[in-house]
A and B are shown apart, each in its own frame.
Chain A
Amino acid sequence: MGGVPAGGRKSGGSVANDLARRFLALVAARTPVDRGEWSQAMLAELDQVAGRRARWRFALSAARAALVPPDSGRFTASALAAFAVTTALAMHALVPQTGLVAAVAVPGVPALCAWVALSGSLAPQRASAAGRVAQGAASAVIVACPVLAIRLIAAYPGRTGSSLQDITVVVAAIGAELAACLLLVLRRPGPLGAGRHSGLGGLAAALATGTVFLLQQPSGGQSDNPVVTTAVAATAIGAPIAVGALAAVLHFVAAGGLGRSLRSAVGEVLWGALLTGPAITTAFLLTTSRNAMAAEAAEPAFIIEAHQRGAASVIAWVARDDVGGALSVFTALTLGSMLIFLISYGALRLTGELRRAAASNVTAESWVSGSP
């Protein structure tokens, strides 16, 4: 099949440029490179569809085919989905204090982001003026949500009478942040796209997250046991750093195996970490805060005492209730990130090997038939 004509990528004034088309164009930009012209074909056919409902139905259906075309990422998606579901179930069963939303969000969000980042095209994407505004808004949401989470938790003792309202805000904040993360993974801002700066950004985000944990722990933790305090502090600062650092290493390894440019692959992975690291932390902070609010009736003095320690109260609360649980959660963040990228890398590597093997099948058969 030939290349995509230049006209296929244009959307001139005579082409309906409604939301359905914008949506499909956004998704089409993330189609794997070897299937790129198919997504352009779908986009061109959308222009033939009349009626808003029919256009959206076509766009949504075509988006599925564009994002997960046959033999191109389906195995990766299945492996990541299996990992996310298994981890969520195990986390909810082993550490129920974190709540169901956190159990789903902690493995689910990075898995989704990793899949989108790794299965998509690495081609540079140009954003329109509206796209840049959307990217800026999404970036602002991502920055604002952790700040909101910390403020909510720190201010909680003075707002004991408005638990229900707080929960609504919490749920809205989680939804906004996750949506913003997905938007930015689908459409990366140019300055933070694949490259050295995105890697540095990811590392900076991880360091900042860990530092916030330490600064919000004025007396070294809730426990009087120095070993426990040290372990909790170490895991608190270590986990978010590991999210960025380990992702960088794994992206580095993946870059060589996948035949991509090393620099772009490292940047791609670290950009994923930049998005998912704060998202994981925020989801955990917010959902644990919700659990703490629900537990207030049972032991209000303990909850208020814990929340007086600000963001660190999440760690202190879990640690006082169950040190093993606290360590499990923060270790899970690290191991989860490692596993997600290892699975993604392994799946893509395996898919690539299978394709190469299929391509060389004819040559191999010729060689075998020609041998004595």
Chain B
Amino acid sequence: MTRSRKPSAQTAAVLRAFAAEPSSWRYGYDLVRETGLQAGSLYPILMRLADRGQLEARWERSQQPGIPARHLYRLTAAGQALAAEATRPAPALGTLRALSWPQPGGN
């Protein structure tokens, strides 16, 4: 059974960053700057997404000697579906309240 749980706010931020340019490969530090997350928060999210097959990664070798290769990331089709789900606008707060809570003075 597939687990369906709403992504956390941080994961949603990462997904939104990817969703802005779905076909582009992204660097980790660029995502840090774009989402405002610390590296210690971003990388575990990327690891989880990759573990679930929602993120693909590849190494980019530098043309200059002595410069380490960099990791690049891109959402898979499953990841893009998750991003679409996560970035879907939530119902207005007033609508939720009207549905969930009895109105004052109501029966």
Chain A residues in the interface with B (C-beta under 8 A): 1-2, 4-5, 7-15, 35, 37-38, 40-45, 47-49, 57-58, 60-66, 69-71
B68 in complex: contacting residue of A10, A58, A60, A64, CB < 8 Å: A10
> How far apart are the CA atoms of A312 and B55 in the complex, in Å?
60
Task: Report B's interface with A, CB cutoff 8 A.
Answer: 27-29, 32, 38-44, 46-48, 50-51, 56-59, 61-62, 64-71
**Contacts known (A4-B59, A7-B61); A61 close to B38, Cβ less than 8 A:** yes
Do A2 and B64 touch across chains, with their CB atoms under 8 A apart?
no
B51 x A45 contact (CB < 8 A): no
- Kindly list chain A residues whose C-beta atoms are within 8 Å of the C-beta of B59: 2, 4-5, 8
Complexed CA–CA distance, A10 and B62 (Å) = 12
Chain B residues whose C-beta falls within 8 Å of the C-beta of A65 in the assembled complex:
39-44, 47
Once the chains are docked, how many angstroms separate the CA of A5 from the CA of B71? 10
Leading 9 A-B pairs by shortest Cβ distance: A12-B66, A41-B71, A61-B40, A62-B39, A64-B40, A61-B38, A44-B68, A65-B43, A5-B69
Specify the main secondary structure of chain A where it touches its partner: helix
Find the A residue at minimum CB distance from B58. Answer: A2
Alpha-carbon separation in the docked complex, A355 to B27 (Å): 29
Please indicate the chain A residues that have their CB under 8 angstroms from the CB of B46 in the complex: 38
> Contacts A2-B58, A45-B29 known; A62 to B43 CB distance under 8 Å?
yes
B41 touches A45 (CB 8 A): no
Residues on B with C-beta less than 8 A from A10 are 66, 68
Please state if B47 and A15 are interface contacts (CB–CB under 8 Å): no
Chain A residues with CB under 8 A of B41: 61, 65
Minimum distance in angstroms from A209 CB to a CB of chain B? 38
Residue from A45, A57, A64 having most chain B Cβ neighbours under 10 A: A45
Task: For A69, give the chain B residue with the smallest CB separation.
Answer: B47
One of A14, A37, A43 near B64 (C-beta < 8 A): A14
User: What are 5 A-B contacts with C-beta separation under 8 Å?
Assistant: A11-B66, A14-B66, A44-B69, A49-B29, A63-B40
Measured between beta carbons, the chain A residues less than 8 angstroms from B68 are: 7-11, 15, 40, 43-44, 47
- Within 8 Å CB of A15, what residues of B? 66-68
A15 CA to B40 CA, complexed, in Å? 22
With a cutoff of 8 Å between Cβ atoms, the chain B residues found around residue A57 in the complex are 38
Complex: chain B residue closest to A71, CB-CB: B51
**Other A-B pairs beyond A58-B38, A64-B40, 17, CB < 8 Å:** A4-B59, A4-B69, A5-B69, A10-B66, A12-B67, A14-B64, A15-B66, A37-B71, A38-B43, A44-B70, A45-B32, A48-B27, A48-B29, A65-B40, A66-B43, A70-B51, A71-B48
Bound: A48/B32 CA distance, A: 11
In the complex, the chain A residue whose C-beta lies closest to that of B73 is A41
CA–CA, A43 to B68, complex, Å?
Answer: 9
| A45 neighbours in B (Cβ, 8 Å) | 27-29, 32, 39, 70-71
Tell which of A5, A14, A41, A58 has the most Cβ of chain B within 10 Å. A41
Across the interface, do B28 and A41 meet the contact criterion of CB distance under 8 Å?
yes
Q: Which of B38, B48, B56, B69 contacts A70 (CB 8 A)?
A: B48
Give min CB distance, A36 to chain B, whole Å.
12
